[in-house]
Structure 1
Amino acid sequence: MTVNPIAPTIPLDAQGAHHGFLKLPYSRDDSAWGSVMIPISVIANGDGPTALLTGGNHGDEYEGPIALQELARFLKPEEIRGRVIILPMMNLPAFTAGLRCSPIDGGNLNRSFPGRPDGTVTQKIAHYVATELVPSADVVLDFHSGGRTLDFLPFAAAHILADKSQEAACMEAMQAFNAPYSVRMLEIDSGGMFDTEVEEQGKIFVTTELGGAGTATARSVAIARKGVRNLLCHVGILSGAPEVAATIELDMPDERCFQFAMGAGLIEYLIDLGDTVEEGRPIARIWPADRCGTDPVPCLARRDGVLAARHVPGLVKVGDCVGLIAVPVE
Structure 2
Amino acid sequence: MQLTPSPVTATVDFAAPGVNHGFLRLPYSRDDAAWGSVMTPITVVVGGDGPTALLTGANHGDEYEGPIALFDLASSIRAQDVTGRIIIVPAMNWPAFGAGTRTSPIDRGNLNRSFPGRPDGTVTQKIADYFQRVLLPMADVVLDFHSGGKTLDFLPYCAAHILPDKRQQAQCFDLVRAFGAPWSVRMLEIDAVGMYDTAAEEMGKIFVTTELGGGGTATARTAGIARRGLRDLLVAAGVLRGEVQARPTQWLDMPDDDCFTFAEDGGLIEFLADPGDRIERDQPVARIFPVARTGLPPVTVTARRAGLFMARHFPGIVKPGDCVAVIGVEIGDDHAV
Using structure 2 for the length normalisation, give the TM-score.
Answer: 0.97
> Structure 2 CA distance, aligned partners of 1:150 and 1:193?
19
Superposition map of 1:45-194 within 5 A = 45-194=47-196
Once the 2 structures are TM-superposed, how far is the Cα of residue 241 of structure 1 from its aligned partner? 1.8
Q: Which amino acid aligns with 1:230?
A: D
Superposition map of 1:33-52 within 5 A = 33-52=35-54
Match of 1:270 among 269, 272, 279: 272
> Structure 2 CA distance, aligned partners of 1:219 and 1:174?
18
Query: SS at 2:217's partner residue?
Result: coil
> Structure 1 CA distance, aligned partners of 2:176 and 2:247?
13
Q: Which amino acid aligns with 2:146?
A: H
Q: Which amino acid aligns with 2:220?
A: A
Query: SS at 1:168's partner residue?
Result: helix
Superposition map of 1:6-45 within 5 A = 6-45=8-47
> Structure 2 CA distance, aligned partners of 1:13 and 1:320?
45
> Structure 2 CA distance, aligned partners of 1:133 and 1:116?
15
The corresponding residue for 1:289 is 291
> Structure 1 CA distance, aligned partners of 2:109 and 2:268?
29
Q: Which amino acid aligns with 1:124?
A: K
Q: Which amino acid aligns with 1:313?
A: P
Q: Which amino acid aligns with 1:317?
A: K
Gaps of 5+ in 2: 333-337
> Structure 2 CA distance, aligned partners of 1:13 and 1:57?
25
1:225 aligns with 2:204: no
Once the 2 structures are TM-superposed, how far is the Cα of residue 262 of structure 1 from its aligned partner? 1.0
Once the 2 structures are TM-superposed, how far is the Cα of residue 312 of structure 1 from its aligned partner? 1.1
Q: Which amino acid aligns with 1:304?
A: A
- Percentage of pairs with the same residue: 62
Tell me, yes or no, if the aligned pair for 1:262 and 1:297 is still in contact at 8 Å.
no
Aligned residues: 330
Gaps of 5+ in 1: none
> Structure 2 CA distance, aligned partners of 1:131 and 1:223?
31
TM superposition outliers: structure 1 runs of 4+ over 3 Å: none
> Structure 2 CA distance, aligned partners of 1:45 and 1:228?
18
The corresponding residue for 1:250 is 252
The corresponding residue for 1:213 is 215
Query: SS at 1:324's partner residue?
Result: strand
- Aligned-residue RMSD, C-alpha: 0.7
Once the 2 structures are TM-superposed, how far is the Cα of residue 278 of structure 1 from its aligned partner? 0.6
> Structure 2 CA distance, aligned partners of 1:318 and 1:4?
39
Deviations 1:172-197 (A, max 9, x none): 11111110000000011000000000
Once the 2 structures are TM-superposed, how far is the Cα of residue 292 of structure 1 from its aligned partner? 2.1
Deviations 1:252-278 (A, max 9, x none): 000000000011000000001100111
> Structure 1 CA distance, aligned partners of 2:162 and 2:49?
31
Once the 2 structures are TM-superposed, how far is the Cα of residue 290 of structure 1 from its aligned partner? 1.8
Q: Which amino acid aligns with 1:31?
A: A
Query: SS at 1:230's partner residue?
Result: helix
Deviations 1:132-163 (A, max 9, x none): 01111010000000000000000000000011
Once the 2 structures are TM-superposed, how far is the Cα of residue 14 of structure 1 from its aligned partner? 1.0
Query: SS at 1:213's partner residue?
Result: coil
Query: SS at 2:244's partner residue?
Result: coil
Query: SS at 1:243's partner residue?
Result: coil
> Structure 1 CA distance, aligned partners of 2:58 and 2:144?
9
Query: SS at 2:293's partner residue?
Result: coil
> Structure 2 CA distance, aligned partners of 1:99 and 1:13?
33
The corresponding residue for 2:311 is 309
Query: SS at 1:73's partner residue?
Result: helix
Once the 2 structures are TM-superposed, how far is the Cα of residue 240 of structure 1 from its aligned partner? 2.2
Once the 2 structures are TM-superposed, how far is the Cα of residue 234 of structure 1 from its aligned partner? 0.2
Tell me, yes or no, if the aligned pair for 1:42 and 1:84 is still in contact at 8 Å.
yes
Query: SS at 1:266's partner residue?
Result: strand
> Structure 2 CA distance, aligned partners of 1:246 and 1:12?
36
Once the 2 structures are TM-superposed, how far is the Cα of residue 56 of structure 1 from its aligned partner? 0.6
The corresponding residue for 2:335 is none
Q: Which amino acid aligns with 1:241?
A: E
Once the 2 structures are TM-superposed, how far is the Cα of residue 216 of structure 1 from its aligned partner? 0.3
> Structure 2 CA distance, aligned partners of 1:8 and 1:18?
11
Q: Which amino acid aligns with 2:257?
A: E
